[in-house]
Amino acid sequence: MNPLLKLALELGPLMIFFFANARGDQLADRFPALSTMGEPIFIATGLFMVATAVSLAVSWMLVRSLPVMPLVSGIVVFVFGALTLFLQNDTFIKMKPTIVNTLFGTILLVGLGFGQSLLGYVFDSAFKLDAEGWRKLTLRWGVFFLVLAAINEVVWRSFSTDFWVAFKVWGIMPITILFTMSQMPLIMRHSLEEKGQ
């Protein structure tokens, strides 16, 4: 898949979530059916669920497969989004990043404990690393996911809903990009293609 299209499919639902939360009242005025959902965070949650479903459907239509991480994240979005809307309690959607990141981090670290670098199965088509490289990268990503989970807990429990939504979009994404870029020296050091040259 084209990298820009892939990025758009991954970021699109988040941007819709941010926009709908910021403009929830205006959206409800313009589309009265949305007003039945309640406050802007609930409108944003409903539209986030729809956008996530559309993103997964487009991915499936283009490549006839769904990457593991977006699929798991999508399932959690649907479950916790439905709980958020049904119970009219935004705690559930706020806990979604904590649960997804804890799940990914735990799976990676437990797999590593059993001698399996599971990250290699996800990114093997993108990178060809030696066993030590996959082990180190899996450890780093496992810890990073747990750190993201902890950050999400601190932010949603300590700040307003609007701040949490903005941080989810404009804070977590740059942190993740910086972390990813910081792993490039390790990837280059353990790249089988580099060693083969």
Q: With cut-offs at 50, 70 and 90, classify the pLDDT of residue 148.
A: very high
Last residue of a domain, one of 34, 51, 85: 85
- Summarised one tens digit per residue, pLDDT across range 157-176 is 999 999 999 999 899 989 99
Grouping H, G, I as helix, E, B as strand and the rest as coil, residue 129 is strand
- Do 164 and 72 have their domain in common? no
Total count of residues recorded for the chain: 197
pLDDT at 2: 73
User: How far is Cα 154 from Cα 19, in angstroms, rounded to an integer?
Assistant: 23
Angle at 185 between CA 181 and CA 190, to 5 degrees: 125
- Do 194 and 127 have their domain in common? yes
Q: What is the tally of structural domains in the chain?
A: 2
**Which residue is it, tokens 């989004």?**
81
Please report the sign of the dihedral spanned by the C-alpha atoms of residue 108, residue 53, residue 79, residue 64.
negative
- Do 76 and 4 have their domain in common? yes
Last residue of a domain, one of 52, 85, 118: 85
Q: Which of 2-6, 29-33, 111-115, 121-125 has the lowest mean pLDDT?
A: 121-125
- Do 51 and 118 have their domain in common? no
- Do 80 and 117 have their domain in common? no
- Do 77 and 94 have their domain in common? no
Q: What is the mean pLDDT of the chain?
A: 89
Last residue of a domain, one of 32, 65, 85: 85
Work out the percent of the chain whose per-residue pLDDT is above 90.
65
Domain of residue 2 covers: 1-85
pLDDT at 126: 66
